[in-house]
Structure 1
C-alpha cells in the first residue's frame, strides 16, 4: 500500500503557489509610488541622423528620450520650416519619436523642426520647451539669429511664455490667418532667440494667448510688433517687443440675458462713445424704459414697466448710428422678483473722512418714504439725515450727515421704505458703521516737472497691485495733492498723451501703430498713518 508524505505535498503546494503569485506580480507594470514628484522634462539621448546633419538624405528621423513621453497638440505645436505641402508623420514608439517625411526635401536647404511645447513626459506632463531638430540638404546650415526681450507695454515687466514669431514679408498676408513656421517662446526674463535663420526680410511679432494656436485672432490676446521689417544679413540682437491689447474693431453683443430681478443686461465686445438703446418690440415698452450704461460703456442694464412679453427686441445705437439688433425670448413660466435689494460702499463699516455713505439699489427707485428711515448715533435717534439722489444713476443715493469720530452709527431702513420705479419694495436693512479717523490716512504732495510744455501728459497713481487709483492730465509743471489716501505702497506711471485726448491709447497692429508711450517711475511711495509726504517727479523725454 502506498504511503503519502503530507508535509511533502504541503511544502510543494506552497512553493508552486508562491511562484504563481510572483509571476503574476512581475507581469503587471506598476507606476512607482512615493518619492519626490518628477519635475524634469524628457531629455534627448540620441538623434538619428544626428542633429545639424549636413547633406541630409534620410527618409526618416528617430529621436530617443530618457523616459516615456507623449505628443501634445501636434497640429499647434509642431512646425517645420520651410513648410512642406504634406507635413511629416510623427509617431511615438516607446521612448523614441519617429518622424517620416511625406514630401521630397528641397536641395541645398536648411530645415528646422520646432516642437514648441508639444513634447511632454508621460506621467507629469513636464514640457520640453523649444527643442529643435535642424538639418541641411546642402553643405551648410543657415546660422543667423534674432534675439531680444518681450515685456508688457504698461508694466514694463518681462513676459513668460510669449510666442515670438517672424514671417517673411512676401508671406505677411498669413498674419492672423495661419501659424508662422518660425517661432520660439520667451523665458522667465522675457528673453527669446530665433536661430538657424536664412537671410531674408522679416516681420517680427510677439503673441501672448490662452488658446495656444499661435494665430492672432482675438482682441483678448496680447500682441507686439516691430513697425519696420528687419533685413536679416547678420545676427540681430536687442530687439524689444512690448505686448498690448488692441481695442476691438468689430462690435458684437457678446452676452444678453434677463436676470431674475427683471433686469435685462447686454454686454458688448467694445466700448461705445455715445450709446443708447431702443426697444423695437414690444414697442410700447420703449417710452418708459430706464437704461443704465456702465462707466466703460460696454455693458448696459435695461428695466421695463412690464415683463408680460414673450420676447424683447432692442437696437443698440452709438452716436446716432444703429449697430445691431438682438432678441431675447423668455419662457412664459419664468418668474421675476422685483424686490429692491440694497448694497453700500463701505464693506469695512468705516466711512472715509470727507467721504459719503452711498447706497445702491438693485433697480431704479420710484419712491422713498423718509418716515421709515432712521439714523441712530450711539443708540440715540438723531435728525438731520439728508438723502440725495445721484445725478448719474436712478439707483444710487447719498446719505449725508455731519458724521463725527468716536461715534457709533446705525442706519435703519424699514420694510417697504424704498419702492421700485416698476414695482417691488425692500426688506428691512440695517447698517452699522463709524467715521474713520484722519490719523489712519496719509497725504502726499507731488511736485511734477514736465520735459516739454507743448506736450500733454497723464500722471497715474497706482497701488501695489498696479490698479490705477487716480489719473491727472497736465501740460505744465504743477503740484498734485493726494489727500486722505489709504495707507500702503504706491508708485507712478506717466502716459505721453500725444493726441491730447486725456487717456492712454492702445496700438493697432494692422495699421502699424504702436500704443502711446508710457514711463514707470522707480520711486515707490509708502503712505503711513497721519503722515504728510512731499515728493518730486521729473518726467523724462519719451524713449521709443
Structure 2
C-alpha cells in the first residue's frame, strides 16, 4: 500500500565533513564511482571547512585528467553568490562566482556529475564547504517528493528553501538541490531559520519555476533547527492562471474547448452560439462543430478569437463509432456505451444488429444522446455476442457513420465474482475505485456514513483499490492550489489480498493507519 501523506520529511541536527571531497550525498541522483576524478589532499583553496573566507574563487587539483559536463546545469552554490564560472585545465579545477559573500554564512558548492574523467567518463558528486564566519552551519533537512495522484517518486525536481516572505515565482531560493530517482532530497550545512519549501519540475532548465511546470510545496514553514517530522510533499500540475481559449477539432462534427470558463452564450462559431454536447468542467466542454458553406471557422469567446481552416472534404467524411467497453465483455444487465465524433440526430435500429455467435438475434433497447449511443441487451446469452453497426445506422448533422462490428465476450453470473469491502477506517468523503491497472472498473462515492462497498458481478481478475479523499465533495481528485497552500487531495492505493475468482464471494477490509 502507498500512502500520500506518510511522515517522511525529517530534520536533523547532525554535522560531518571530510577532508578533500565533501560527503557524497545520494539525494541528487548522480552515481558514485571510486574511479572518478577526486580532489588531491592539500590542494583545495579555500580548504574544506575553512572559516573567514572572503575570496570569490575556489581552486583544487584532481587526481586524474577530467572533462566538464554541462556545468551550467550541474554546478550549484548554496546560498547563491552569483553566477558560477566552472573551468578546467588538465587536472586543475577552478570555480568562480561574481557576487559578494554574506557575512557569517556557510557556503556549499555542489558538482553533481560536473566532473568526468577522460577515459571511463565516470562522474560523481563533489561538495566543497567553507564559511565566512566563525563556524560551519550544521543543520540538515531530508525529504521525499512523490506525485500527488500516482504516488510514484518524483525524480529530477528542483527543490528550494526560500525566504519565508518571498514568492518562489519571483525570487531565487536561499538553498537548492534536486530529488533523485527515489524522490529523495537533502539539504545540508543549513543556517538555523524558517524556510518555505517549494519544488518544481524545471522542464525548460532555466532554474526558475515557470507557469505550467509541475510543483510541490509545504503548507507550513519548515524550521531547520526543528526535530519534528513533516509530511512529504506532493507534486501536481497547477492550474494555468492564464485563461485562454484552447480548441481541438475532431472531424467531422465535434470539438473540445478548454482553457477558460465556457458557456453556450459566451462562445460563438461563425457568429452562431455553440451547442454543447457534454460538459466535463466549467472550463472544459465537447461541442458540435456546425456546418459551414466554406472552410473558415471563427471561434470567439470574449477577447479570444481563433480561426481554423477545416476542409469540406474532412467535414463530409463518415464519422466513426467507438466502443467504451471494458475488455470488450458483457454481463447481463450491462449497458454498452458507444461514442462518435458527431452529434447524433437519428438512429435506425434496423441497421444495428445484435446477435450471438450462432447468429441468434438478441433483443435490445437503444438510447442516444449527444454523441453517445447506449445498447442494452434484454436477455441472457449463452455464447459471445456481436454488435454490428451498419453504415447509416446513425445519422449526424451532415453525414452518417462508418460501419463497425464489435465482438464481446459474454459472462454468465456463475462466471463472475462478488466483492465486499469494509471501509470503516476511511473517515469522511472518498471516491473509491476498483482498478485494473490504470483503468477504473467500478466507482463508489463514499459519504460520511458509508462503511461498506458491495461490487457484484465483477469479471475475475487481480485488482487494486484506489481511494481519493474527496475533501470538497466534487467526486474527483483535485490538484494543489499554491496560492492558498492547499495540498493535492490524498490518494491511497490498496492491493487486494485475494484474486477474484468465478462464482466466489470475496470480503476484504481497507485499513488506513491512524497517522496516514
TM range (shorter): 0.7 to 0.9
Residue 371 of structure 2: aligned partner: 395
Is the CA contact (8 Å cut-off) linking 2:343 and 2:371 kept in structure 1?
Answer: yes
Residue 58 of structure 2: aligned partner: 61
Distance, in Å, in 2 between the alignment partners of 1:180 and 1:266 is: 37
Is the CA contact (8 Å cut-off) linking 2:148 and 2:489 kept in structure 1?
Answer: no
Query: What TM-score does the superposition give when structure 1 sets the normalisation length?
Result: 0.74
Is the CA contact (8 Å cut-off) linking 2:344 and 2:396 kept in structure 1?
Answer: yes
Residue 95 of structure 2: aligned partner: 99
Equivalent positions of 1:204-243 (< 5 A) are 204-230=197-223, 232=224, 234=225, 236=227, 238-243=229-234
Tell me whether 1:184 sits opposite 2:177 in the alignment.
Answer: yes
Is the CA contact (8 Å cut-off) linking 1:142 and 1:197 kept in structure 2?
Answer: yes
How big is each residue's C-alpha offset from its partner over 1:461-490, in whole Å with a ceiling of 9 and x where there is no partner? 343646554232221253210112233334
Distance, in Å, in 1 between the alignment partners of 2:321 and 2:151 is: 41
Q: Name structure 2 gaps, 5 residues minimum.
A: 1-30
SS of aligned partner of 1:44: coil
Tell me whether 1:90 sits opposite 2:90 in the alignment.
Answer: no
Question: What is the count of residue pairs matched by the alignment?
Answer: 480
Q: Which has the larger radius of gyration?
A: 1
How big is each residue's C-alpha offset from its partner over 1:290-343, in whole Å with a ceiling of 9 and x where there is no partner? 433353565434334423346433345xxxxx6x53222327787533312222
Query: Of residues 110, 127, 133 in structure 2, which corresponds to 1:132?
Result: 127
Residue 76 of structure 2: aligned partner: 79
Tell me whether 1:244 sits opposite 2:235 in the alignment.
Answer: yes
- Aligned CA-pair RMSD: 3.8
Cα offset for 1:395?
A: 1.9
Equivalent positions of 1:241-280 (< 5 A) are 241-245=232-236, 247-248=238-239, 250-253=241-244, 255-268=246-259, 275-276=263-264, 278-280=266-268
Distance, in Å, in 1 between the alignment partners of 2:75 and 2:143 is: 23
Change in 2 beyond 3 A, CA 1:150/1:282: closer
Cα offset for 1:446?
A: 1.8
Cα offset for 1:445?
A: 1.2
Residue 425 of structure 1: aligned partner: 400
SS of aligned partner of 1:510: helix
How big is each residue's C-alpha offset from its partner over 1:262-292, in whole Å with a ceiling of 9 and x where there is no partner? 5343343x7x5x7446554522x43xx5433
Residue 449 of structure 2: aligned partner: 476
Equivalent positions of 1:187-198 (< 5 A) are 187-198=180-191
Distance, in Å, in 2 between the alignment partners of 1:276 and 1:149 is: 45
Query: Of residues 487, 498, 507 in structure 2, which corresponds to 1:514?
Result: 487
Cα offset for 1:146?
A: 2.2
How big is each residue's C-alpha offset from its partner over 1:404-428, in whole Å with a ceiling of 9 and x where there is no partner? 343244443333333222x112344
Distance, in Å, in 2 between the alignment partners of 1:149 and 1:493 is: 21
Is the CA contact (8 Å cut-off) linking 2:363 and 2:379 kept in structure 1?
Answer: no
SS of aligned partner of 2:367: strand
Change in 2 beyond 3 A, CA 1:303/1:120: farther
User: Higher relative contact order by CA 8 Å / sep ≥ 6: 1 or 2?
Assistant: 2
Distance, in Å, in 2 between the alignment partners of 1:514 and 1:413 is: 47
Cα offset for 1:148?
A: 3.4
Cα offset for 1:245?
A: 1.9
Residue 435 of structure 1: aligned partner: 410
SS of aligned partner of 1:371: helix
Equivalent positions of 1:95-174 (< 5 A) are 95-103=91-99, 105=101, 108-116=104-112, 118=114, 128-129=124-125, 131-154=126-149, 158-169=153-164, 172-173=166-167
Tell me whether 1:339 sits opposite 2:318 in the alignment.
Answer: yes
Q: Name structure 1 gaps, 5 residues minimum.
A: 1-37, 317-321
Distance, in Å, in 2 between the alignment partners of 1:521 and 1:333 is: 51
Equivalent positions of 1:308-387 (< 5 A) are 308-309=293-294, 311-316=296-301, 325-330=304-309, 335-346=314-325, 348-380=327-359, 382=361, 384-387=363-366
Query: What TM-score does the superposition give when structure 2 sets the normalisation length?
Result: 0.78
Is the CA contact (8 Å cut-off) linking 2:353 and 2:387 kept in structure 1?
Answer: yes
Is the CA contact (8 Å cut-off) linking 1:77 and 1:115 kept in structure 2?
Answer: yes
Cα offset for 1:166?
A: 0.8
Query: Of residues 39, 42, 45 in structure 2, which corresponds to 1:45?
Result: 39
Distance, in Å, in 1 between the alignment partners of 2:358 and 2:479 is: 53
Distance, in Å, in 1 between the alignment partners of 2:410 and 2:201 is: 46
